[in-house]
Amino acid sequence: VNAAALPRADALPASFRNALRGQASTVCVITAHTPFGAHGMTATAVMSLSVDPPALAIAINRTARMNPHLQPGAPLCVQLLAEHQADIARGFAGALPQERRFSIGHWDRDAWGEPVLAGAVASFSGTVDQRIELATHSLLIVQVRAVRTSTHTRPLLYAHGDFTGLCAVAQECAA
């Protein structure tokens, strides 16, 4: 390890956050019912964990209002947003109050009654299998029980602090 190339320990949180701006991610919206009704939030800390069994891992900040409701056994739905759904991502990231978030986009219900977004690249219905508390975040292991896909195959991406898409990225490369 080249120690000179490492950031000073006290500078690490800022440089770590800055470095992660370069990690392009597919934008997701997590939805679930809570005692206060349907709830949803934008998340990019979503990864495929295994295919057999079908499982996802999601990191949710403890300050997110839906966090306390995502306990083991709780049903939820994870939508991979399509390129044209950036307004939904902004709304569910706090630009809209919770009670107005479902007013944008067309929302159906999955077999468990959770909100599922029409026109998303994919929606995964599942239940929280395990929950691990890690400092500021809760890591949820989600067992997937049903999948929906749509003809919109191009995902909405988030990189360098902004929403983008595969075509924009390709044009940037061609320029």
Site residues, ligand FMN (CB under 6 A): 27, 41-45, 59-61, 64-66, 93-94, 98, 158
Helices (H) and strands (E) in the chain, counts: 3, 12
Q: Which is nearer to ligand FMN, 107 or 158 (CB)?
A: 158
- Tokens 């998340």 belong to 43
C-alpha span between 134 and 115 (Å, rounded): 27
C-alpha span between 175 and 171 (Å, rounded): 6
DSSP letter for 13, please: H
Q: Could you tell me the smallest distance in angstroms from the CB atom of residue 1 to ligand FMN?
A: 29
Q: Could you tell me the smallest distance in angstroms from the CB atom of residue 64 to ligand FMN?
A: 4
3-class SS at 9? helix
Q: Using an 8 Å Cβ cutoff, are 123 and 142 in contact?
A: no
Q: Could you tell me the smallest distance in angstroms from the CB atom of residue 31 to ligand FMN?
A: 11
Q: Which is nearer to ligand FMN, 84 or 111 (CB)?
A: 84
Q: Could you tell me the smallest distance in angstroms from the CB atom of residue 103 to ligand FMN?
A: 15
C-alpha span between 8 and 14 (Å, rounded): 11
First to last CA, the chain: 36
Q: Could you tell me the smallest distance in angstroms from the CB atom of residue 41 to ligand FMN?
A: 4
Q: What sign does the dihedral 22-23-27-29 (CA atoms) show?
A: negative
Q: Which is nearer to ligand FMN, 63 or 151 (CB)?
A: 63
Q: Which is nearer to ligand FMN, 7 or 61 (CB)?
A: 61
